[in-house]
Structure 1
Amino acid sequence: MSKETSIKMEEGSGSHESQFNLDGILSELGSFGKYQLLLLFLLAFRDSFLAMCNFNYVFTAAEVGYRCEVPECELSTTKFNDTWTSFALPNVSNTCYRMAPQYASNGNYTEQDERWLSIWSRNETCLPEHFSNRTMPCQKIVYEDYNSIVAEFDLGCEPWKRTLIGTVHSLGLVFSFIVSGLISDRYGRKVVIVVTPLVVGVAGLIKSFSVNYWMLLVLEFLEAALGYGNASLVLSLETVSQKRRVVFSCIVDILTSIGSAFFGLIAWKVPYWRHMIRAIYAPLLVVVFYIFLVDEGVRWLLAHNKKHEAVRVLNKVAKINKITLSQKAKAMLIKITEERNKSDEANQSSPPEQAHLLSVLRSRKMVMRVALIAASFFCATFVYNGTIINSTTIWGNKYLNFSALLLVAVPTRIVTAFTLMRFGRKAPICVAYSLCAAFFIASAFVPKSIWWASVLFYLVGNMCSSYGMFSMYVVAMEVFPTTSRNSLTNIANTVGRLGSVLAPQAPLLDQFMLGLPSILFGIVALGPAMLALLLPDTSKAVLPDDIADAEKLDEQPEEAQPVPSGTISEQEKERF
């Protein structure tokens, strides 16, 4: 590949030896050499366990069947389902009321009724005539199993506490994405890639020793607020050339989806929530060794005038991939190194990094772009997170359903890689979310007798949601400049995360109408389908390095060709 690319570049550059851009160098280095493959697996390992932790509450706070304890019928052993439950309990599942015994005064159990209870228990009989047609509140709750915090912290009659865990987690992510984006753009992608998993791992392990509900809730928020972020996606987009950035990012996401799908199996085989949490959080501590294994992104280094370090990384990639760079590429790297001191002096006189964010506020186009992407993320995260959380309530094995919803991302990413390159960005996103709406709404009206069709529609709808979610991230990364790419993306994503804050409450709608959550997901999915049409198509544009480049994306015609590998624009000449 390097030989063919080098020849092409030499032909394209002609006599202009200095006209050699970063995209051309990355093309020579290849996209799937040993260096990139190692980076793929390192990012996939990190992101797989982070994804498991990000959805830990799906199983730790899973809904559990419960009923009132009926001491008149609970004799030597307590069974969740018994023959007497049909007349001792209301004909409603998961209720905090029971049928009042005949001896109870006005449906209220009092201390003086202990004598009646004693006589009843000695008879060892529990008959329908022993109960009235009145109901009374539960004195104690019996759970179907005791694997989740719902049973351990007795949350059966307080369902809002169960869903509040997911909401608090999502609120923490709102804070996390702002902080991680600012840190990533200011101090580098590597800092976020290494530090956030360590924070999540430590906080999660401490969380597994929670002594009560409120301690767990606080740790859930701190874990989400101080960890996570999307630095991996940013680094993967910036590591390879323009023609390979979508494919490379899709492969990272495919490996991540395969890895995170094991969470369903782990939760199945290790159902007790404390043990399960330790099983998925402890591996994140290994990421500390990424300090020696992962390099900073070259685009970030060049954008921040760390040219000497950028040249070192590029030479390292060439050495590991056993690539011999062309003479023009070597000359360009030498020129960058020689201009290091001059660039450093210019960097000292330039405005600080915060000015990049302030300059966005002065750009109407960029503000509108942030608003559009934020609104799209709001709808996208509500639908995607809501469908994952709601997967445990649809027909079938909840563990296999959860894994299946994550594994559908594998064929989805393959389709994503081809369609985003072939048909641009806007049309595929619009079509994906339109289909998403159709399949989710259809799944809600399938008769119970053909439950498998409902599950199938739900899975296909989730595939479309996953497609749209990933594509929106790609578009967000491509429309913002390198100097503030992660910050602006995460600012938009932070506003959008309010959708994921509401998502954990969606399963509660089943109480009003079976399938109502799916209908709501379908309606909300129409939002990004329409908003995507207002964004610029960036499929054939190079990644913008500053605000001026980003603003010009709207001016590029749909069929604009990418900058040839061997030549660079006037702005790129000035930068180099």
Structure 2
Amino acid sequence: MVSKEPLKTKMPEQMDNQFNLEGLLSELGSFGKYQLLLLFLLAFRDSFLAMCNYNYVFTAAEVDYRCYVPECESSDVRFNVSFAQFALANHSDICHRVAPRINDSNLSNSDDECAPEGFIAGETVPCDRIIYQDYNSIFDLGCQPWKRTLIGTVHNLGLVFSFLLSGFISDRYGRKIIIVATPLVVGIVGLVKSFSVNYWMLLVLEFLETALGYGNASMVLSLEMVTQKRRVIFSCVSDILSNFGFAFFGLIAWKIPYWRHMMWVIYAPLLVVVFYIFLVDEGVRWLLAHNKKDEAVRVLNKVAKINNITLSKKANEMLTNITEEARKTERLGQNVPQSTHIGLLVVLRSKKILLRVFLIAAIFFCCIFVYNGCMINSTSIVGNKYLNFSSLVLVTIPTRIITAITLTKFGRKAPICVAYILCCVFFIASAYVPKSIWWASVVFYLLGKMCSSYGMFSMTVVALEVFPTTSRNSLTNTANTIGRLGAVLAPQTPLLEKYMAGLPSIVFGLVALGPVMLSLLLPDTSHSSLPDHIQDAERIGDTNDTIHKADDAEDRSPAS
């Protein structure tokens, strides 16, 4: 136990606030009733948002198809037909069929038209019409594969704008507005999209959905709700719950394969998030950083009441002092909150912070390209594409457990480097496994996805930890926005399979080496409190940094 004397010592204002907040959060606990309710609410929201975010994996998936052969088709048109061996071209030329001898005078009997001698071997003509194995994928895109991949590209291009926009709004107006508003936008636009009458209407709505929705406010809020010792564990638990729900998307798509009906099922539940206006509170760190101290005290008291915790005398005195100070400042007309926009410009004048933005942006480019690419290509690996997709999501759960343990015990940089080195090895190995042992290729692919998921989540944690509260989401999402260009390219990777089997996996493995080298240039944030101001953020990683030793701050709680 540390003596009470340090609490009486006059400290710089920002240090004192940070110190006291860590102590208060320690008293309130990390997994009480309030925090558990918040975890489940965020998990519901994030599960369905994730389903919507990856809807194009199934709605724009490639479906087996063949040419319509008018000389042979009956009134009951089927995909599998006996005349395929002589009337259809080989698989590499699937959008052409064998040329018929329709003008041959020797074929006077119409029955002979659908016989081997009714076609000219070696000559082909373009398909006039396509017959699909099923009609679950969107519109008629069989011989236009670029249109299928363009949907994913446009979707991820919209996310470039979405993350940038949501970051600024979140830092300016709070985390809660993004948590509530973005799912509603996604749900409404997604339902309208399900009634698209043509490809181009769907493409426009795909862009609007992602440009106006999404963001990562849930993770920001979960990191800011608990102490330094618990923030990684708390965020990992939140991510485990949301991925558990996300894994049901594969089963939903399996049982409801028709794309319009599937969209109704995954988009409609997001409308329920409107009730989060009454169920979710604003982040305490954001409230304090923006001088909304009365609201911060109300939220802290609410947490204590729901968790059935009696705050210590020192904690109550601190809350009372904060309230009185806020009211006194308001009476004197001094309560002029700093503009987030101006604050962001001030932050970006720091060379150290600006360098971090560019470094994290480059790392995000590699991380997002590998993560999104392996998710999209999951439908092309051997086996049931729906179960493969769900399996790739479910491996995130043990990955998060490993993440919570390793990031807490070994810091940030070393685990990230190891994860992406293994990611490189597993993806390249999956590409070269002989087809006779296909199961080994699937195992290596899953292991590569685990490492990619580990690295992606860990880098997001690091990004949120190195920037100050007043511009945390803006700077993280600015870096994420630049990195999202990797997601724009990822939907094109299935086309690489046409040039070489396993080439997408090889590309993922090589790109995974990027974060290994770049992450070494970032400071290790494992023993630092979340910085509230630019000076705090700049001190992270300094050898003489004493303010950010969060372990000491947590031990010196108001109850000490």
1:497-531 deviation digits (Å, cap 9, x = unpaired): 00000000000100000100000000101001111
Q: Counterpart in 2 of 1:574?
A: none
The answer to whether the 8 A contact 2:239-2:400 is kept is yes
Q: AA paired with 1:404?
A: S
The answer to whether the 8 A contact 1:405-1:462 is kept is yes
The answer to whether the 8 A contact 1:9-1:565 is kept is no
User: 1:208, CA displacement in angstroms?
Assistant: 0.6
Does residue 1:175 correspond to 2:174, yes or no? no
The answer to whether the 8 A contact 2:227-2:554 is kept is no
TM score, norm. by length of structure 1: 0.92
Q: Counterpart in 2 of 1:562?
A: 550
TM score, norm. by length of structure 2: 0.94
Separation in 1, partners of 2:520, 2:429: 25
The answer to whether the 8 A contact 2:366-2:483 is kept is yes
User: 1:564, CA displacement in angstroms?
Assistant: 1.8
**1:142 aligned counterpart, secondary structure:** strand
User: 1:259, CA displacement in angstroms?
Assistant: 0.2
**1:565 aligned counterpart, secondary structure:** helix
Does residue 1:141 correspond to 2:140, yes or no? no
1:205-261 deviation digits (Å, cap 9, x = unpaired): 001100000010011000000100000000000001111000000000000110000
Q: AA paired with 1:99?
A: V
User: 1:78, CA displacement in angstroms?
Assistant: 1.9
Separation in 2, partners of 1:336, 1:50: 37
Q: Counterpart in 2 of 1:307?
A: 293
User: 1:356, CA displacement in angstroms?
Assistant: 1.3
Q: AA paired with 2:309?
A: I
Question: Could you tell which deviates more after superposition, 33-42 or 69-78?
Answer: 69-78
1:235-254 maps to which residues of 2 (within 5 A)? 235-254=221-240
**2:223 aligned counterpart, secondary structure:** helix
Does residue 1:386 correspond to 2:373, yes or no? yes
Does residue 1:131 correspond to 2:120, yes or no? yes
Question: Could you tell which deviates more after superposition, 205-214 or 66-75?
Answer: 66-75
Separation in 1, partners of 2:198, 2:375: 26
Does residue 1:199 correspond to 2:185, yes or no? yes
Query: How many corresponding residue pairs?
Result: 549
Does residue 1:289 correspond to 2:275, yes or no? yes
What is the CA RMSD across the aligned residues, in angstroms?
Answer: 2.2
Counterpart selection for 1:475 from 462, 467, 470: 462
**1:554 aligned counterpart, secondary structure:** coil
The answer to whether the 8 A contact 1:61-1:162 is kept is yes
Q: Counterpart in 1 of 2:64?
A: 65
**Residues 347/297 of structure 1: CA separation in 2 closer, same or farther (3 Å cut):** farther
Separation in 2, partners of 1:54, 1:9: 48
Separation in 1, partners of 2:103, 2:213: 54
The answer to whether the 8 A contact 1:102-1:130 is kept is yes
**Residues 566/416 of structure 1: CA separation in 2 closer, same or farther (3 Å cut):** closer
The answer to whether the 8 A contact 1:13-1:567 is kept is no
**1:339 aligned counterpart, secondary structure:** helix
Separation in 2, partners of 1:566, 1:237: 15
Does residue 1:232 correspond to 2:231, yes or no? no
1:458-496 deviation digits (Å, cap 9, x = unpaired): 000000000000001000000000000000000000000
**2:122 aligned counterpart, secondary structure:** strand
1:371-450 maps to which residues of 2 (within 5 A)? 371-450=358-437
Q: AA paired with 2:395?
A: V
The answer to whether the 8 A contact 2:102-2:113 is kept is no
Does residue 1:257 correspond to 2:255, yes or no? no
**2:391 aligned counterpart, secondary structure:** helix
User: 1:102, CA displacement in angstroms?
Assistant: 2.6
**Which runs of no fewer than 5 residues in structure 2 stay unpaired?**
none
1:475-554 maps to which residues of 2 (within 5 A)? 475-554=462-541
User: 1:348, CA displacement in angstroms?
Assistant: 4.4
**Residues 72/243 of structure 1: CA separation in 2 closer, same or farther (3 Å cut):** same
User: 1:357, CA displacement in angstroms?
Assistant: 1.2
Q: AA paired with 2:271?
A: L
**1:67 aligned counterpart, secondary structure:** strand
1:40-79 maps to which residues of 2 (within 5 A)? 40-79=39-78
Q: AA paired with 1:50?
A: L
Q: AA paired with 1:537?
A: D
User: 1:77, CA displacement in angstroms?
Assistant: 2.4
Separation in 2, partners of 1:183, 1:14: 35
The answer to whether the 8 A contact 1:295-1:313 is kept is yes
Separation in 2, partners of 1:558, 1:357: 23
1:288-347 deviation digits (Å, cap 9, x = unpaired): 000000000000000000000000000000000000111110100000000003444686
User: 1:133, CA displacement in angstroms?
Assistant: 1.6
Q: Counterpart in 2 of 1:109?
A: none
The answer to whether the 8 A contact 2:52-2:266 is kept is yes
Q: AA paired with 1:130?
A: F
Q: AA paired with 2:360?
A: I
The answer to whether the 8 A contact 2:86-2:119 is kept is no
Separation in 1, partners of 2:5, 2:496: 60
Separation in 1, partners of 2:93, 2:190: 30
1:80-120 deviation digits (Å, cap 9, x = unpaired): 12222122112225721111113359xxxxxxx9x96x942
Separation in 2, partners of 1:385, 1:160: 18
Instruction: Give aligned-pair identity as a percent.
Output: 69
